[in-house]
Amino acid sequence: MTFRARHLLGIEPLHPTEITELLDTADRYAELNRQGRAPRDVLAGLTQINMFFENSTRTQASFEIAGKRLGADVMNMAMQASSVKKGETLIDTALTLNAMRPDLLVVRHPNSGAVDLLAQKVNCAVLNAGDGRHEHPTQALLDGLTIRRAKGRLHRLSIAICGDIAHSRVARSNIMLLGKMENRIRLIAPPTLMPSGVAEFGVELFDDMEEGLRDVDVVMMLRLQKERMDGGFIPSEREYFHRYGLDAAKLSHARPAAIVMHPGPMNRGVEIDGTIADDINRSVIQEQVEMGVAVRMAAMDLLARNARMGRDETGVMA
Ligand code: ASP
C-alpha cells in the first residue's frame, strides 16, 4: 500500500501513486456496487460522523451511502452554519466529538483551512468534504475516476476547466490532481473569475470559450458560486451564459468525443445548457455521482486500514 496518510485533507500532499491507488480501489468498488456486492464488513464496528457546516446534497448523501455500504455506523450531525462561530467554537466541537471516539469524521466547512485545523485536534481519520475555496479532494478523485473510465487513461489529456474558477475548491483540487497525473490543463474564465497567480500551476489561461475549448478531450464546467460573491463579478446571468455557458455551438470546438462534466449542483441556463447536461452521448454528470460513492468507499476503506496499522504497531493511533 502506498497511501499511508492518516487523513484525506486535500490533493496537494498526495503523490501520483497514492492517487492511482485510491482510484484503483474505487474502480473495484464501482464494479462491486454495480453488482450489488459491496462488502459490508470493511467498516463494520466503526463509527462515521458527518459534520456539514455548509449545505450539501450529493456529497453528504454520497458519504453516508458509502459508509453504510461498507457497514459503518453513520451519524449525520445537523450543523447550521449560522449557529457556528469560527475559531474556538470549531475546536470545542472537535473536542466534544473526539470524546465520543468516532473512527471517521467527514467535515465540510465554509472556511478554507478549517478542516485541517480540526484534524489536528482529533484522534480519528478526518476526510475533507470541502473547505471554503481551498480543497474538495473526493470531488477531484471522483472526477479523475470518471475521466479515466471514459477515456481509458488519466494522463496526456487536454482538459478545460471553465467558469467560476476564483471561488471553486473543485477547480483547485482538480488542477492539482490533473496536473500531478500529467495532463494539459486549460482554465477558461472571465478575468473577474480567474484567480491571480494561478498560472504558476502550469496551466494555460483563456477568457474565450471558443479558443479555450479547441480540441480538448474533457470539458469540466463549474457552478457560478453566487454565495461566495459579494457583487460585481459578472454583468448578468444572461450575458454570462452568452459568453461562458456551455451550449452546442461552444462544445463543437472541443474534440468530437469530448466528455462534459459538472460537479453539481447545476445552474441550468447559466453555466450550462440543460440539453447538453442531459445528453447521454456527451455528459458524464450522472457517472460522476456514481463514482462519488465508489471514491468515498475507497477513501474510507484505506484510511481505516491505515488507522488499524497505526494501532497495531504502537497500541495507540499513530
Ligand atoms: N458541490 C461542489 C462543492 O461543494 C461544487 C459546487 O458547490 O459548485 O464545492
| HEC letters along 36-61 | CCCCCCCCCCCEEEEEECCCCCHHHH
Q: What is the pLDDT of residues 98-134, one digit of tens each?
A: 999 999 999 999 999 999 999 999 999 999 999 999 9
Residues 70 and 185 in one domain: no
What is d(CA 132, CA 52) in angstroms, rounded to the nearest whole number?
Answer: 12
Q: Give the total number of structural domains in the chain.
A: 2
Between 11-15, 96-100, 277-281, the lowest mean confidence (pLDDT) is in 96-100
Predicted confidence at residue 157, as pLDDT, reads 98
Give me the CATH number covering residue 246: 3.40.50.1370
Helix (H) or strand (E) holding 76: strand 73-78
- Given a cut of 90, whether residue 60 has pLDDT beyond it is yes
CA of 139 to the centre of ligand 1 (A): 9
Give the model's confidence band at 253: pLDDT under 50 very low, under 70 low, under 90 confident, else very high.
Answer: very high
Q: Are residues 120 and 159 in the same domain?
A: no
Q: Indicate whether 39 pLDDT > 70.
A: yes
Q: What sign results for the dihedral spanned by CA atoms 168, 173, 176, 180?
A: negative
Residue 313: inside a domain: no
Query: Confidence band (pLDDT; 50, 70, 90) for 318?
Result: very low
| Domain span including residue 77 | 7-136+289-302
Pocket around ligand 1 at a 6 A CB cut-off = 130, 136, 169-170, 223, 225, 263-264
Kindly tell me the burial class for residue 271, based on how many C-beta atoms sit within 10 Å of its own C-beta (0-12, 13-18, 19 or more). buried
Same domain? 278 vs 294:
no
pLDDT at 80: 64
SS3 78: strand
At 85-97, the pLDDT tens digits run 566 678 888 888 8
pLDDT above 90 (res 1): no
Pair (112, 204) in one structural domain: no
Residue 153 to residues 6, 148, 156, 244, Cα–Cα distance (Å): 28, 5, 8, 28
Classify residue 98: in a domain, yes or no. Answer: yes
In the prediction, which pLDDT does 314 show? 43
Average pLDDT estimate for 57-80: 93
Q: How far apart are CA 110 and CA 15, in angstroms?
A: 26
Which helix (H) or strand (E) is 190 found in, with range? none
Q: What is the pLDDT of residue 317?
A: 42
pLDDT computed for residue 65 by the predictor: 98
Q: Are 129 and 141 in a shared domain?
A: no
Q: Which residue has the higher pLDDT, 3 or 90?
A: 3
Averaged pLDDT score across all residues of the chain:
93
Helix residue ranges per DSSP H, the chain: 16-35, 58-69, 88-99, 114-119, 137-151, 169-180, 209-212, 237-244, 248-251, 274-277, 285-314
- Show binding-site residues for carbamoyl phosphate: 58-59, 108, 136, 139, 264-265
C-alpha distances in Å from residue 11, one per residue of 121, 129, 154, 171, 302: 21, 12, 15, 11, 15
Q: 225 vs 143, which has greater pLDDT? A: 143
Give percent of the chain above pLDDT 70: 95
Which residue lies with its CA nearest to atom 1 of ligand 1?
264
174-215 confidence digits (pLDDT tens): 999 999 999 999 999 999 999 999 988 999 999 999 999 999
* Residues tagged in the binding site annotation for L-aspartate: 86, 169, 223
Residue 311: the pLDDT is 62
Q: Percent of the chain beyond pLDDT 90?
A: 84
pLDDT of residue 74: 98
Enter the DSSP assignment of 195. P
Non-local (6+) Cβ contacts of 172 within 8 A are 133, 134, 135, 136
- The radius of gyration of the chain from alpha carbons, rounded to an integer in Å, stands at 19
**Residues 79 and 202 placed together within one structural domain of the fold:** no
Nearest CA to ligand 1 atom 4: 130
Rounded to whole angstroms, the Cα distance separating 229 from 20 reads 35
> Does the predicted TM-score (pTM) go above 0.85?
yes
* pLDDT at site 313: 45
Supply the pLDDT for residue 86. Answer: 60
Strand partners, 73: 47
Residues 72 and 27 in one domain: yes
pLDDT for residue 83: 54
CA–centroid distance, residue 47 to ligand 1 (Å): 26
Residue 82: which pLDDT band, with cuts at 50, 70 and 90? very low
